[in-house]
Amino acid sequence: WMGEYETAQKHALIVKEKSGVADHIRKQNEENLKFINQKLEGKITGRNDIVYVSMFTADTPYEEEVKVLKASLDKFGLPYEIVGLRHQGSWEKNTQMKPQVLKSVMDKYKKDVIWIDADAEILAMPEFFYTVDCDISFHYLKQWNEKMTGTMFFKNNTVSREVINRWTVLNSENNNPDAINFQAVMEGLQGVKIVDLPKEYIHIADNKYLQCDKPVIIHNQASRRFKDKMNIISKPLEYDRIIRREVQKIISGKTSCSVIGNGPFKTDLSKEIDDSFVMRCNNFKLGFPEIGSRIDLNISSLYHEIIPDHKVDYPILGILPISETMYQKYTDAKKMHEFWLDNGEKLIKMGNVVWMYGDNEEFSEVFRYVSEEIKAFPTVGIMAIALARWMGFKEIIISGFTFFQSEQSHYFQKKNVRPSSHHNPIAERDLLIRWITEDIDIKYILDKLVEDNLLINASIQSNTIK
């Protein structure tokens, strides 16, 4: 209907300015414009069931930032409630006031609510909110497995109120920013009707996944500019913690982790493996009794030749970064990270659970650490072992790693595959030796072929090895 209005307005203007137009045509165009205008008023100013909501922390730069949002709401005649709050003691706790403000406005007006962060600006009439049929709407950024909370729609009903209540409770239990807790709440709920919010409603200029030709609502990411200036945060949140949180959910309390590479093996570790949290690398194969029968997590490069071609019943973690700044620093191979991203998106479209990460993910520090230690681009295998250490497992079982020093590269085929030139398997072997030697709180259980390759260096001898 907005498109109809703009078309009618344009035609009326042409008719008005053009000489020699018959009176009945001129009159008809004016009637068309009047009709569409009435229709428009019925959709927006005539609707009394939506309120736009935002908040800001008083006596901070956000107090100026929110004036832009207010002006844009006024421009389009949109009803709103903008709440100024006192400082809650930290930037995180300030953000956690969001669900309480939402509940307050729902109670006050008995209407559906649209949340918009204080750093936003409305550039066009937000038509989507007046036709959407759902309990909650937000944009899901699949590349980061992130539920974006800068712009959200909440139906004023028992379902969305339950979400808001749980969100409030979880906020009271930790010091995470509201967005992390919202993600956790939504992943634990059933029976919520969700419609994906178009990216035009949460446009962020420097996020390549949120680019669009005609943004409706833009976000200026004031938190990046202001939170360190507010002198209220003892340690600014620098990274998202999606990978840690998602993997922690499926660990189910296990303290032992098996990392099964695709190299040959010798020791029967089936009992130890099947009693642990099991991570298998790349295009693994089951059906080999000595290396167990279970999988909890597939650690993958997302290279097109080794990813599944169908939906699988286990999550897939792209262990290598979807980031040009990290990827190109350690290799001359061009743009492979973009192909990994494309492959990850294909897997998601098949219905798979896929986690990938970029510069802003906490796990990126693990990649940087390993890369600097080996002075090369890490293999999937060494990153899988690094993940097990990072997740805090007390016992790590390793099988299928010969660092490309054996005649056979894979336990499931005779073909000998050599590592790419940007890898350094010997440096990775030496790094693992150091981990085993220095990790006094971790028990390492090694397959005999892994141990034989590590014992090339006598310093590896340790009572932590079975």
Q: Are 134 and 156 in contact (CB under 8 A)?
A: no
Determine the residue type at 302. Answer: L
Residue 353 is given by DSSP the state: -
If one counts every other C-beta atom within 10 angstroms of the C-beta of residue 153, the result is 23
Closest CA to 130 of 198, 50, 36: 50
Tell me the per-residue pLDDT of 132-183, one tens digit each, with 9 for 90 and over. 999 999 998 877 778 889 999 999 999 999 999 999 999 888 888 888 889 8
Determine the residue type at 450. Answer: V
Does residue 338 sit in helix, strand or coil?
A: helix
> So what's the pLDDT on residue 180?
86
Higher-scoring residue by pLDDT: 240, 136:
136
> So what's the pLDDT on residue 274?
94
| Per-residue tokens: 151 | 């712009």
Q: Are 383 and 391 in contact (CB under 8 A)?
A: no
Q: What is the mean pLDDT of residues 273-298?
A: 92
Q: Is 267 inside a domain boundary?
A: yes
Q: Is 141 inside a domain boundary?
A: yes
Regarding whether 177 and 88 lie in a shared domain, the answer is yes
Domain boundary among 179, 196, 229: 229
Regarding whether 312 and 200 lie in a shared domain, the answer is no
Q: Is 34 inside a domain boundary?
A: no
Q: What is the mean pLDDT of residues 310-315?
A: 94
In sequence order, the β-bridge partners of residue 115 are: 53, 152
* Residue that has been written with the tokens 């290799």 in this structure: 331
**Whole-angstrom distance, CA of residue 277 vs CA of residue 314:** 12
Q: What is the mean pLDDT of residues 178-202?
A: 89
| Per-residue tokens: 396 | 């790590």
Regarding whether 188 and 278 lie in a shared domain, the answer is no
- What is the overall mean pLDDT for the chain? 80
Cα 342–Cα 344–Cα 348 angle in degrees, nearest 5: 115
Among the residue ranges 148-162, 199-213, 226-240, the one predicted with the least confidence is 226-240
**Whole-angstrom distance, CA of residue 358 vs CA of residue 390:** 17
Tell me the per-residue pLDDT of 387-436, one tens digit each, with 9 for 90 and over. 999 999 999 999 988 875 655 555 445 665 555 666 788 899 999 999 99
Q: Phi-psi category of 311—alpha, beta or left, where left has phi over 0 and alpha has psi -120 to 50?
A: beta
- Name, in order, each residue with C-beta under 8 angstroms of 383's C-beta and a sequence gap of 6 or more: 299, 319, 320, 366, 367, 370
Q: Is 135 inside a domain boundary?
A: yes
> So what's the pLDDT on residue 176?
83
CATH of the domain at 266: 3.90.1480.10
Q: Is 7 inside a domain boundary?
A: no
Regarding whether 295 and 198 lie in a shared domain, the answer is no
Regarding whether 318 and 396 lie in a shared domain, the answer is yes
Regarding whether 259 and 161 lie in a shared domain, the answer is no
Does residue 344 sit in helix, strand or coil?
A: helix
Q: Are 437 and 459 in contact (CB under 8 A)?
A: yes
For the chain, the domain total comes to 2
Enclosing H/E stretch for 170:
helix 158-173
Q: What is the mean pLDDT of residues 306-327?
A: 86
Tell me the per-residue pLDDT of 345-361, one tens digit each, with 9 for 90 and over. 899 888 899 998 887 78
CATH of the domain at 66: 3.90.550.10
Q: Are 210 and 49 in contact (CB under 8 A)?
A: no
Positive or negative CA dihedral for 230, 236, 239, 241? negative
Q: Is 39 inside a domain boundary?
A: no
Share of the chain above pLDDT 90, in %: 38
Regarding whether 298 and 216 lie in a shared domain, the answer is no
Regarding whether 382 and 288 lie in a shared domain, the answer is yes
> So what's the pLDDT on residue 364?
87
DSSP state string for 33-45: HHHHHHHHHHHTT
- Name, in order, each residue with C-beta under 8 angstroms of 375's C-beta and a sequence gap of 6 or more: 424, 427
- Name, in order, each residue with C-beta under 8 angstroms of 452's C-beta and a sequence gap of 6 or more: none
Regarding whether 169 and 64 lie in a shared domain, the answer is yes
Burial (CB count <10 Å: 0-12, 13-18, 19+), residue 138: buried
C-alpha dihedral, 390 to 393 to 394 to 396, nearest 10°:
-90
Tell me the per-residue pLDDT of 67-103, one tens digit each, with 9 for 90 and over. 999 999 999 899 999 988 887 777 778 888 999 999 9
Domain span including residue 193: 46-229
Q: Is 19 inside a domain boundary?
A: no
**Whole-angstrom distance, CA of residue 190 vs CA of residue 155:** 16
**Whole-angstrom distance, CA of residue 364 vs CA of residue 382:** 14
Share of the chain above pLDDT 70, in %: 76
* Residue that has been written with the tokens 């712009």 in this structure: 151
Please report, for residues 255, 257, 262, 272, 447, the alpha-carbon distance to residue 289 in angstroms, rounded to integers and kept in the order given.
22, 18, 14, 12, 14
> So what's the pLDDT on residue 271?
95
